[in-house]
């Protein structure tokens, strides 16, 4: 089962410990793949996992029936995979998983590496330019 809506974990490790089933395995894989792609700090923000490198890069939210990955500069990542969909304002895009997928961690490492490189080049997506 995913995190209960509104439940706040004290740390990224506590967030993962609170998960069960395929969501826990998937989020553990994502964390390892993202860290292989860049020097990210990881924290809890908006009750989710937040990965930061020169500003926010990715958010991971585990729910009962899905795992959502939101990329702050995701519209610039859509060429890497057509399953990354634009979402909301600015450059946000998401990748949603609804069941236990068989996906290569190297794909997520590439996405994370590209997201970190965009922040290094363009600065924080939260900064007003």
- The CATH topology of domain 12-109 is 3.90.1150
Indicate the pTM of the whole model.
0.91
Handedness of CA 23, 29, 31, 37 (dihedral sign): negative
Handedness of CA 76, 37, 13, 2 (dihedral sign): positive
**Structure confidence by residue, pLDDT tens digits, 31-70:** 999 999 999 999 999 899 999 999 999 999 999 999 999 9
Q: Is 89 helix (H, G, I), strand (E, B) or coil?
A: coil
**Structure confidence by residue, pLDDT tens digits, 62-112:** 999 999 999 999 999 999 999 999 987 789 999 999 886 777 899 999 999
What pLDDT is stored for residue 7 in this prediction?
65
What pLDDT is stored for residue 6 in this prediction?
54
Q: 68: how many CB neighbours lie within 10 A of its CB?
A: 17
Q: Whats the size of the chain, residue-wise?
A: 129
What pLDDT is stored for residue 104 in this prediction?
86
Using CA atoms, how far apart are residues 89 and 102, in angstroms rounded to an integer?
30
Q: Do 62 and 97 touch, CB atoms closer than 8 A?
A: no
* Residues facing 10 on adjacent strands: none
Q: Is 12 helix (H, G, I), strand (E, B) or coil?
A: helix
Q: Do 7 and 47 touch, CB atoms closer than 8 A?
A: yes
Say if residue 1's pLDDT is above 80: no
Which two three-digit tokens encode residue 55? 């500003």
Handedness of CA 101, 12, 121, 33 (dihedral sign): negative
| Strand 48-52, strand 67-71: pairing | unpaired
Say if residue 26's pLDDT is above 80: yes
């Amino acid at each position: 089962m995913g995190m209960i809506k509104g439940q706040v974990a004290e740390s990224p490790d506590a967030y993962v410990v609170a998960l069960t089933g395929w969501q826990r395995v998937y989020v553990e894989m994502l964390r390892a793949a993202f860290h292989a792609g860049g020097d990210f700090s990881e924290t809890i923000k908006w009750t989710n996992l937040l990965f930061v490198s020169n500003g926010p890069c990715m958010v991971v939210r585990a729910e009962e029936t899905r795992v959502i990955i939101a990329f702050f500069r995701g519209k610039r990542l859509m060429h890497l995979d057509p399953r990354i969909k634009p979402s909301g304002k600015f450059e946000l895009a998401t990748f949603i998983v609804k069941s236990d997928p068989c996906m290569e961690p190297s794909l997520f490492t590439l996405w994370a590496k590209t997201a970190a490189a965009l922040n290094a080049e363009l600065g924080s997506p939260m900064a007003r330019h």
